[in-house]
């Protein structure tokens, strides 16, 4: 079943662009109904508008706390008929207000191999720690920071002469590949969540209904 996406992005929006491109070429059975940013200057807003999506700014400073901010975000997502929320470089921790409004349907990308290196300033930490491989992770979002069940990961080498920027661009290429892929699995209803594990089911004939990820303990 085709997904109606709401993409939350704070910055450049290259991941958003990979999703828009995958929708346009049919690799992803979805449309981006709205791009929402907490940052009025986010280039992601322009990318969304250029692709024909709505674009809205919900500034954090306009709300007394994170929950009130998320209430405004949820209102905008609902107004645009969103069924799946995509965090694509969204620099805010979402609260249960948003998670409860879209249970099992909030997905994030993180530029490291979780559970290693959660949080921000990831690439510098990866290099400083001396690990030989890094990568990226698409995961369902829960109330923790970068802790939800993992859908797909991709691995890249860390080179001796890497800077945070060179490593970021190598990781980003993989982000652009696996994020639309993970969303397509969701669109196909192929994701089964068993505790912390997300199991990929074989493809089945389209049933015309919106599939929530199945869950077992």
Residues belonging to the active site: 110
Contact 178, 171 (CB under 8 A): no
Sign of the alpha-carbon torsion through 65, 67, 69, 71: negative
- DSSP bridge pairs for 77: none
- Distance from first CA to last CA of the chain, Å, rounded? 25
Residue with token string 């249970």: 103
Which of 13/104 has CB closer to ligand GRF? 13
Q: Which helix H or strand E contains 1, and what residues bound it? A: none
- Distance between CA 61 and CA 155 in Å, rounded? 37
| Smallest distance, ligand GRF to C-beta of residue 216, A | 29
Binding mask 8-27 for ligand GRF (x = CB under 6 A): -x-xxxxx------------
Q: In this chain, which stretch among 6-14, 62-70, 145-153, 182-190 interacts with ligand GRF, using CB under 6 A?
A: 6-14
Q: Is 111 in the site for ligand GRF (CB under 6 A)?
A: yes
Q: Is 164 in the site for ligand GRF (CB under 6 A)?
A: no
Q: Is 39 in the site for ligand GRF (CB under 6 A)?
A: no
Site residues for ligand GRF, 174-213, by CB under 6 A, read: 175
Q: Is 109 in the site for ligand GRF (CB under 6 A)?
A: yes
- DSSP bridge pairs for 198: 193
The footprint of ligand GRF (CB under 6 A) covers: 9, 11-15, 88-89, 109-111, 172, 175
């Amino acid at each position: 079943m085709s997904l109606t996406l709401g993409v939350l992005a704070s910055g450049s929006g290259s991941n958003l662009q990979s999703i828009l491109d995958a929708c346009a070429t049919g690799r992803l059975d979805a449309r981006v109904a709205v791009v929402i940013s907490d940052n009025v200057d986010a280039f992601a807003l322009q990318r969304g508008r250029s692709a024909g999506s709505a674009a809205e700014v919900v500034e954090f400073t306009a709300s007394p706390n994170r929950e009130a901010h998320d209430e405004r975000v949820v209102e905008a997502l609902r107004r645009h008929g969103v069924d799946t929320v995509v965090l694509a470089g969204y620099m805010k921790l979402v609260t249960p207000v948003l998670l409860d409004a879209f249970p099992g349907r909030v997905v994030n990308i993180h530029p490291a191999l979780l559970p290693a290196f959660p949080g921000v300033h990831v690439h510098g930490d990866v290099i400083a720690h001396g690990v030989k491989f890094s990568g990226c992770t698409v995961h369902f979002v829960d109330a923790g920071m970068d802790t939800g069940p993992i859908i797909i990961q991709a691995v890249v080498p860390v080179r001796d002469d890497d800077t945070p920027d060179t490593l970021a661009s190598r990781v980003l290429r993989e982000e652009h590949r696996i994020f639309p892929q993970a969303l397509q699995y969701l669109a196909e209803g192929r994701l089964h969540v068993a505790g912390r594990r997300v199991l990929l089911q074989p493809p089945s004939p389209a049933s015309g209904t919106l599939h929530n990820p199945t869950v077992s303990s």
